[in-house]
Each structure stands twice: as structure tokens, then as C-alpha cells.
Structure 1
Amino acid sequence: MRAAYRVLASSIAVAVVLQIASIALAGFTVASDAEDGKTIGADYSNFGQSYHSIAGTAIAVLALVFLIVSFLTDVPRGRALAGIVLGLVVLQFVLAVVSFGLPALGILHGINGLAVAAVAGMASRRAATPAQPVSA
């Protein structure tokens, strides 16, 4: 189960990096489309935006599975780290929803995304360290 824990943690960290890349792609695509004279309105969408939305849902599912797996492994502080990852992912969703009404909060959405990747990466590294025997 330690290997599954590590794979899930690493997958979450990599998925967040791809999220960052996709939203950058979305922003540059919006700028390019606007420069080309396309109308950017409520019905506008591009690949980066669509990917970012769909992958966000996938990350949430991974985080939930990660928490479940954390109860089946002996990774030091594994459950706590998985719980933090899931909590940060929930916060990420809340920040995304609120940021549509208050765009400046989008900054916190970006920073929190980095925190998700950092904590997931930390969890992955902890799972790579062999379990220490308990001494009496």
C-alpha cells in the first residue's frame, strides 16, 4: 500500500503542475484570440480552460482516494498529509468559485494550487522512506 500511496501523491503533484501549465495556456490563448479579433464573451472557451476544469475534478477524486489509501499504509504522518491535501483541494474549489465574483482572490487560488503540489510531493517523499522499526 505504501507504493499506492506514493503513486497517488506523485500523481496529484504532477496533475497540479499540468493544471498550472493549462491555465497558462488558457491565458495566452485568450490573449492571442483577442488579438486576432475573436469575441471573448461568456460563451468563449479554449482547450486550456476546458482541461483546467476537467483536471481539477480528477485531482479532487485522486485526493479522496489518496485519503482512503492513507488509512491502509504505515507512512509516517501519512493520514495527516493526505487529509491536508484533500483539505487544500476543497479550499481550491471554494477559491475558484469565489474568484469568479472577486477576481483578485484568484491569486490565492494560484498560491493554494502550489501548496497542494508541495504537500503532495512531501507525502510522496515520505512514502519513499522505508518504515522505521518500532523499538520497545
Structure 2
Amino acid sequence: MRTAYRALASAIALAVVLQVASIALAGFTIAGDAQDGAAIGADYTNLGQSFHSTAGIAIGLVALIFLIVSFLTDVPRGRMLAGVVVGLVVLQFVLAVASFGLPALGVLHGINGLAIAGVAGAASRRAVAPRMATSG
């Protein structure tokens, strides 16, 4: 189960990296399209935006599975770290929805995404099997 725990935590951290990349792609695509004269309105979308939304939902589902797996393993503080990841993911969704009404909250959305990656990365590192103590 440690392997599953570590794989899920690593997948979440990697998915956040892809989220950062996709939103950068979205921003530069919007800028490029606007420069080319495209109308950027409510019906406008691009690959970066679509991927960002879809991957965000996937991260939420993986985080829930991660929490369940955390109860089946003996990773030190594993349940607590998985719970923090889930809590941060919930906050991420709230910040995403709220940011459409108050765009300045998007800054917190970005920072929270990095926190998700950091906590998931820490959880992954904790899942490495403990070294055997040597008697000496």
C-alpha cells in the first residue's frame, strides 16, 4: 500500500505541474489570439483552459482516492498529509469559483496550487520505506 500511496501523491504533485503549464498555455494563447484579432468573449476557450478545467476535476478525484488509500497504509503522518491535500484541493475549487467574481483571488488560487504540490510531494517522500536500523 505504501507504493500506491506514493504513486497517488506523486501523481497529484505532477498533475499540479501540468496545471501550471496548462494555464500558462491558456494565457499565452489568449494573448496571441487577441493580437491576431480574435474576439475573446464568454464563449471563447482554448486547449490550455480546457485541460486546466478537466485536470482540476481529475486531481480532485485522485485526492479522494489518495485519502482512502492513506487509511490502508502505515506511512508516518500519512492520513494527516492526505487530509491536508484533500482540504487544499477543496479550497482550490472554492478559490477557482470565487475568482470568476473577484479575479484578484486568482493569485491565491495559484499559490494554493503550489501548496497542493508541496504537500503531495512531502507525502510521497514519507512513503519511502524506512531504512532498517543497524546495530553497532
- TM norm. shorter chain > 0.5: yes
Residue aligning to 1:28: 28
Conservation of the 8 A alpha-carbon contact between 1:71 and 1:79: yes
Whichever residue aligns with residue 59 of structure 2, its letter is I
CA drift of 1:68 comes to 0.1
Relative to structure 1, the CA distance from residue 73 to residue 105 in structure 2 (aligned partners, 3 Å threshold; closer, same or farther) is same
Relative to structure 1, the CA distance from residue 120 to residue 47 in structure 2 (aligned partners, 3 Å threshold; closer, same or farther) is same
Residue aligning to 2:120: 120
Conservation of the 8 A alpha-carbon contact between 1:74 and 1:131: no
Q: Percent identity?
A: 76
Separation of aligned partners in 2, 1:25 and 1:132: 46
Whichever residue aligns with residue 58 of structure 1, its letter is A
Separation of aligned partners in 1, 2:132 and 2:58: 33
Separation of aligned partners in 2, 1:68 and 1:5: 9
Deviations 1:54-79 (A, max 9, x none): 00000000000000000000000000
Q: Which runs of 4+ in 1 moved over 2 A?
A: none
For 1:39, what is the secondary structure of its paired residue?
coil
Residue aligning to 2:57: 57
Residue aligning to 1:9: 9
* Aligned length in residues: 133
Could you tell me the TM-score, scaled by structure 2's length? Answer: 0.96
Residue aligning to 2:105: 105
Separation of aligned partners in 2, 1:28 and 1:128: 38
Residue aligning to 2:82: 82
Unaligned runs of 5+ in 1: none
Residue aligning to 1:93: 93
Whichever residue aligns with residue 25 of structure 1, its letter is L
For 2:127, what is the secondary structure of its paired residue?
helix
For 2:37, what is the secondary structure of its paired residue?
coil
Aligned-pair Cα RMSD in Å: 1.2
Unaligned runs of 5+ in 2: none
Whichever residue aligns with residue 97 of structure 1, its letter is V
Separation of aligned partners in 2, 1:130 and 1:120: 18
Deviations 1:28-56 (A, max 9, x none): 00000000000000000000000000000
Relative to structure 1, the CA distance from residue 125 to residue 106 in structure 2 (aligned partners, 3 Å threshold; closer, same or farther) is same
